[in-house]
Structure 1
């Protein structure tokens, strides 16, 4: 036995203050760099009282185990009207946006080579001014919440605001009153007269043949709706309806048993009805007496969306301390820009 070992043992025995009382040496993490005391304890073989740490209960160490929370917050999916995806969108520099539309075209005529040429008519201009409105939200979160939360609160709030704005503007594009918000295409005046007779700005509707329902041979009514839209507008046209209406139409068959509905065969390609894509918009009304539950048209030509800018979010940690406000705004407007490009089906007898 070396002298170093003997000195270590003598030092450990000297720690005994009274008979039978053992002063426990420090654990490895707290011992002196030499490690002599702990090594001596291990070599001595002295019994020691041990405590077990487990995560089974809180007082035996479970409180020390961190709880892991999923950093992504699940939420119910919100129905966002897809009218924006098929309409004409322009970015404006002010709320005073105007658009000119000509009606009637420029008349012309035939004449002989040496005959006199009379003056022809000139086009008529119509001014379109989409009603504008401002969406806003002003949620707040405490600074402690922003510091301590296990997920990115700011990013989550920004995403929630964007989703709510999209939902609100989608509903306005369909049914908005036009007062401090866009005017929806279903709020435009309607008549069952043709394009050459109906006044500009009034949408044409076709009756389904029965109040609150389809009449016999409903596929014929849908074909009439498609053909009511003139050829130049049918290029790029689409059906717009909600899920309940679509569920009924998907069951329609022709006289030879073929479905009118054609499911999509490739990813990213919408299903078609009578050869035209179907846009599912939950803001469209359910089928009821005199409801305008189906729209068909070229919305790029027929509906105008004017927006001042994208959604702007201002982080304000000063106004309401210790809370941080997230002030979000979005200015957007919309209206029917060409009443010949959109047709409606009205669920009425005539």
Structure 2
């Protein structure tokens, strides 16, 4: 399907959705049955979601081409080329002569007491880029490389006091800002993809690309769940696992996220979504993104403002994402569904609010013995995640259902 045709189909599907939903609402007002229209809406909504998925794939390919493909960060140094070649021999044949020394020169990493070898820098980047494609949180959060798990950030918990004075008025001493440390919660991820020796002996088999793809799939599922709702025990702490309160920014304690109630009924309303947006200070709102489960979208697409305009709009231009109240939407399957007391929608500047820290040095331990005739590649990485600025992310708590 050509991009132009795709966009036309997406726009047409949304027009059909609006037309059908408007007819449904008229029947509801008259007390008439709507079963046939509900079924039609579900089918049109499914078509919209499928078209959006195709468009995201095309946009991702365009981004990849623009940056010159995976790992396209310029020429490799001599040490990096040697390390890459040695690692390739290790993967295919298990030959590791001189690999530790080349690893140390190319990456400035020490030996791992648990064994295994660090992957070449290019392969490390490829894994991260593949994960970004499959981990919604990586696409919206602040992602940084770190050398170890000692990363901490200082934040100001209270500004120094000041005021207005005249030219000759005395200047009283200002208060000292109170600083506090915040840090991601770290843990170790592992994957153990397996290949046959026959595959590895095939000169046309790209062993590094295979490893990157297999590992990224395993890591991605675990990472997004942790960054969203992880408990922080031997893993990242998700933003949904922090304490929550309905108190405003000037009253909540550090590390507690504010929630906004959706109202009395277990449903979403336009007013509640506006309240969620404006619970953020202006500086955060400017770069705000909605985060919600893809299964919440059918309800979102039906919402209108007071003038009858739909709140959700499809992204019809190249690289343009769908929006809710003119703010981008990130679909995250690890977000709760709309139900009583669920924190079903988040909105915030996640670049400022949440940090993902990748510890340099994905490591691989080659195992040709445990599951013959397969060769296992036990791959590990350390990664952390946590809320850095609890004023930058707000949550919507769904109210209790009417009795």
TM-score (norm. length: structure 2)? 0.62
Residue in 2 aligned with 1:178?
232
Provide the secondary structure at the position in 2 that maps to 1:206: strand
Q: In the alignment, which residue of structure 2 is the partner of 1:278? A: 329
Distance between the aligned counterparts of 1:309 and 1:247, measured in 2?
Answer: 40
Give the length in aligned residue pairs.
269
Question: Hey, what does 1:57 align to over in structure 2?
Answer: none
Residue 149 (structure 1) shift? 11
Distance of 2:361 and 2:297 partners within structure 1: 32
Q: Which has the larger radius of gyration?
A: 1
Superposition RMSD on alpha carbons, in Å? Answer: 2.4
- Kindly state the Cα deviation for residue 222 of structure 1 after the two structures are TM-superposed: 0.6
Distance 2:313 2:239 in 1: 27
Q: CA deviation at 1:328?
A: 1.0
CA distance in 2, matches of 1:291, 1:319: 44
Which of residues 243, 247, 258 is equivalent to 1:189? Answer: 243
Q: CA deviation at 1:315?
A: 3.8
1:335 to 1:347, Cα distance in 2 relative to 1, 3 A: same
Question: 2:165 corresponds to which residue?
Answer: 111
Give 1:226 shift. Answer: 0.5
Name the structure 1 match of 2:386. Answer: 335
Does 1:201 find its partner at 2:255?
A: yes
Q: Output the CA distance in 1 between the equivalents of 2:212 and 2:146.
A: 23
- Distance in structure 2 (CA, Å) of the matches to 1:253 and 1:330: 45
Residue 83 (structure 1) aligned with residue 137 (structure 2): yes
Alignment equivalent of 1:268, drawn from 280, 299, 319: 319
CA distance in 2 between counterparts of 1:313 and 1:162 reads: 13
Partner of 1:210: 264
Q: Distance in 1 between matches of 2:183 and 2:227?
A: 15
Residues 112 and 172 (structure 1), Cα distance of their counterparts in 2 relative to 1, 3 Å cut = same
1:169 maps to what in 2? Answer: 223
Map of 1:49 onto structure 2? none
In the TM superposition, residue 143 of structure 1 has moved relative to its aligned partner by: 2.1
Structure 1 residue aligned with 2:194: 140
Name the SS of the counterpart of 1:324 in structure 2: strand
Give the structure with the larger helix fraction. 2
SS at 1:204's partner residue? Answer: strand
Alpha-carbon distance, 1:154 to partner: 6.4
Deviations 1:167-191 (A, max 9, x none): 2101110011101100000001000
Whole-angstrom CA distance in 1 between matches of 2:377 and 2:325:
47
> In 2, Cα distance between the equivalents of 1:346 and 1:184?
16
Measured after TM superposition, the shift of residue 150 of structure 1 is 9.2
TM-score under structure 1 normalisation?
0.71
How far did residue 229 of structure 1 move? 0.4
| Higher alpha-carbon deviation: 112-121 or 122-131 | 112-121
User: Quick check: 2:301–2:312 contact (8 Å CA) kept in 1?
Assistant: yes
Contact 2:141/2:352, CA 8 A, preserved across alignment: yes
Change (3 A) 1:211 1:330: farther
Describe the superposition over 1:12-52 as per-residue Cα deviations: whole angstroms up to 9, x where unpaired.
xxxxxxxxxxxxxxxxxxxxxxxxxxxxxxxxxxxxxxxxx
Alignment of 1:102 with 2:102, yes or no, is no
The question of 1:252 aligning with 2:306 is answered no
Shift, 1:309, TM fit: 2.2
**Compared with structure 1, are the counterparts of its residues 206 and 349 closer, same or farther at alpha carbon in structure 2 (3 Å cutoff)?**
farther
Distance in 1 (CA, whole Å) between partners of 2:301 and 2:184 is 35
